[in-house]
Amino acid sequence: MKRTMLLTALLLAMANAHANGPPGPPVPSPDTCSAQGGVVGANLIDGTFGTGSGTYGEAAPAPGLGTQTTYLYAPWVSYRPDDGEYVIVNATGPDSPWSTWHSQLLGHTTGLDDDRFAVFNASIEPGTFYSQTLTVAPNTNFEVSFWVMNVNSNVNDLLLPNLATVIRRVGVDPPGGGVVVATTGDIPEANPPFWHQYAAVFNSASATQIELRLDNNSSGGLGNDFALDDIALAPCTLAAGAIAGTLYYDANLDGALQAGEPGLPANIPVQIVDTRGTPDTGDDVIVGTTQTDASGHYAFANIPAGADYVVHAVTTDPNVPADVALHTPNDVAVTVTSGSQAAADFGFVSADVQIVKQGPASVGGGQPITYTLTITNPGPTAADGASWGDLVPVEITGVSAFCGSEAGGAVCGPVQVNGNDVSGTLPTLPVGGSVRITIEGITPAAVAILSNTGTVTPASGIPDPDEDNNASTTSTSTPVSLQSFEVE
């Protein structure tokens, strides 16, 4: 919507323009700090290019761009910046070196004859043309902005400038990466031309340094020539609120933080992301990043009110225990209002289900035999839906089974007996809960060593931190019963 409004303003200005003459009225961005109800602080960048005399750019006037640009400065008096070059001027004058350029262009800062600005002849290859690293206060909102003008006159089929503002928060965003916080789209030609501003508000998160980059998304060669003035970065005081929550073990699997449910460990990153009101992630901005404390708690302060935020737990971080899984949704949508605190909690699951199988060391041939399976769950979360099984040796006949001795809120559920395959699912197995399954049958008459194993497995999506206790084996010998012998 904001981009549409700006484009509408540009088209109206073009429709009302008249041929030749000085630049038309400047068009401010709707995304400035003040437009969002904030107060702008002191500018941290000297991006006005100063003032000076002389129609064309002399040799590297101060303040120039120096190492802040990869473009070459065009030092000759008649200034003819070629592809990949720039010049700093106070006016283009009536004798502009390129026939496609407008005459009589003036700077944006004051609009006077001595107001300097930079003119770029785009490099053949798209990429970064301006970069500056700045020290900033952490967890602070900033406005970044610049003014730009397409210096080409109304000529068909010329390449159009297309610029992007990229912010990389050192220590937050990866090296070489960053977040696109504002884009110009294709900047149309206009007659007369006019300056238009592009701005964005972002949060420095935990960074104390940021890299500000301006990228040209369009190639050069025939067109894509633009003027730049008044690059600015300043703190922005906005109506703000807070967000807080906990990463916790969802002991009862109800998806809500309850008193007594333990938190995950410290130093797990949590992010606030501004979705910019769109479902795609290409324009998302990480507004803030923090870490959990020893109780799994996190908190953000000074978060601008009114934006479309989601809170994201970085579950891939190495500080997240290896055998846990997120049980509640990630990317929780929150609404931040001034002076209030929104909440976003994240429940995780992990259950160390255990089984112990018991049976007699020996049973006479052809005699009844009884096994027991004791299943427990020490936690830290419930293991509802855990499945168990026992494949009884084929030598044992007449197999039957039942479940009982439910304790700690556990529920057995039906027991399935399919020949010698005994199994079941426990619909409820809370932390501290247990059940006991009894299996009965008749041993074979012949001498045998009967060995079999009972197993238990948590439900899908519930990791088990110790799978070594998920199986238990017992062995029983069946010597021939003395009753089967006759003495003569």
Residue 181 contacts residue 285 (beta carbons within 8 Å): yes
Distance CA(404)–CA(384), nearest Å, equals: 17
Give the count of beta carbons closer than 10 Å to the beta carbon of residue 43.
16
Confidence of residue 17 (pLDDT cuts 50, 70, 90): very low
The percentage of the chain sitting over the pLDDT mark of 70, rounded to a whole number, equals 88
Q: pLDDT-derived band of residue 98, with 50, 70 and 90 as boundaries?
A: low
The answer to whether residues 292 and 247 touch, using CB atoms and an 8 Å cutoff, is yes
Would you say domain 2-235 falls under CATH 2.60.120? yes
Residue 60 has pLDDT above 60, yes or no: no
Q: Give residue-wise pLDDT tens across range 183-206.
A: 999 999 988 889 999 999 888 888
Contact between 434 and 372 (Cβ < 8 Å): no
Rounded Cα distance between 84 and 488, Å, is 115
Fold of 240-349: Immunoglobulin-like (2.60.40)
Summary mean pLDDT of the chain:
86
**Tokens encoding 276:** 């910019």
| pLDDT score, position 371 | 97
- What pLDDT does 79 receive? 58
Q: Which residue has the tokens 């109206």?
A: 12
- The residue ranking higher by pLDDT, 484 or 173, is 173
Name the DSSP class of 428: B
We find that the CATH architecture of domain 354-483 is: Sandwich (2.60)
Given a contact cutoff of 8 angstroms between Cβ atoms, the answer to whether 201 and 141 are in contact is yes
pLDDT at 162 over 50: yes
Full strand arrangement of the beta sheet holding 421-426: 415-418, 421-426, 386-391, 448-457, 471-478
Contact (CB, 8 A) for 459 and 386: yes
- In this structure, the dihedral spanned by the alpha carbons of residues 482, 401, 392 and 477, taken in order and rounded to 10 degrees, is -20
202-258 tens-digit pLDDT: 888 889 999 999 999 998 888 899 999 999 999 999 888 899 999 999 999 999 999
How is the chain split into domains, by residue range? 2-235, 240-349, 354-483
Q: Which residue has the higher pLDDT, 96 or 87?
A: 87
Q: Do domains 2-235 and 354-483 have the same CATH topology?
A: no
